[in-house]
Each structure stands twice: as structure tokens, then as C-alpha cells.
């Protein structure tokens, strides 16, 4: 009886070992690792694309605000030459608002560049 139980235990152990070996097929594991790496690469490429697009967008916004501030400055100067002091004040007030937004955008761009350089 004891011999029979030992044989059954050996057969069961062998079956379990075969099952585990088939589950841990090295070829399958390597293929899965390659697939995982391809997915990670695709995600990294997409992230870089988004980062570049975000940086370009911030740069365009900074340039637009700089041009807008210059236009308000010119309008203020033209108003002074024309003797329209109230209009000049309003133009300068608008310029101050635009320059505030410009400062915020420049800070965001600088921070963004620092963060992307570290990654």
C-alpha cells in the first residue's frame, strides 16, 4: 500500500512539474517581455510627442502675448501723440494685463522645459 501511495505521489509530482514547465515556457515569456517592451516604447514615443506639442503651444502663446503687449504699447504712444491721454491710459492698462499673462506663460514654459529636461 505504501509503495502504491509513493508511486501515485511521484506521478502527481511529475504531472505538476510538467504543468509548471509548460506554464513557464521561456519562449513565451520572452515573447511577452518583447510585447511589453513594445507597448512601453509606444507609450514613451506618444508621451514625447505630447511634450513637444505642449512646449510648442506654450512658445506660440508667449510669442502672441509679446506681440499683443507691443501693440498695446504702440496704441498708447499713438494716443499720447494724438493728445488722447485717457485712451493712452486704457492702452497701458491693457498692456499691463497682457504682460501679466505673458509672465505667467513664460514661467510655465520655463518650468515645463526644466521638468522635461529632467525626465
Average pLDDT rounded to a whole number, residues 28-32: 80
pTM of the full predicted structure?
A: 0.62
Q: Which DSSP letter does residue 72 get? A: H
Q: Helix, strand, or coil here: 99? A: helix
Average pLDDT rounded to a whole number, residues 60-85: 94
The C-alpha cell 509606444 sits at 42
Tell me the three cell numbers of residue 98. 497682457
Convert the pLDDT of each residue in 83-104 to its tens digit.
999 999 999 999 999 999 999 9
E strands present in 31-104:
none
Amino acid at each position: 500500500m505504501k509503495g502504491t501511495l509513493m508511486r501515485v505521489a511521484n506521478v502527481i509530482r511529475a504531472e505538476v512539474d510538467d504543468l509548471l514547465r509548460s506554464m513557464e515556457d521561456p519562449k513565451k515569456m520572452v515573447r511577452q517581455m518583447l510585447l511589453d517592451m513594445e507597448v512601453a516604447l509606444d507609450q514613451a514615443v506618444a508621451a514625447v510627442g505630447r511634450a513637444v506639442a505642449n512646449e510648442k503651444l506654450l512658445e506660440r502663446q508667449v510669442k502672441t502675448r509679446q506681440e499683443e503687449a507691443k501693440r498695446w504699447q504702440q496704441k498708447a504712444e499713438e494716443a499720447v501723440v494724438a493728445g488722447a491721454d485717457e485712451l493712452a491710459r486704457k492702452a497701458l492698462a491693457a498692456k499691463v494685463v497682457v504682460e501679466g499673462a505673458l509672465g505667467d506663460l513664460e514661467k510655465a514654459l520655463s518650468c515645463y522645459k526644466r521638468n522635461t529636461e529632467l525626465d
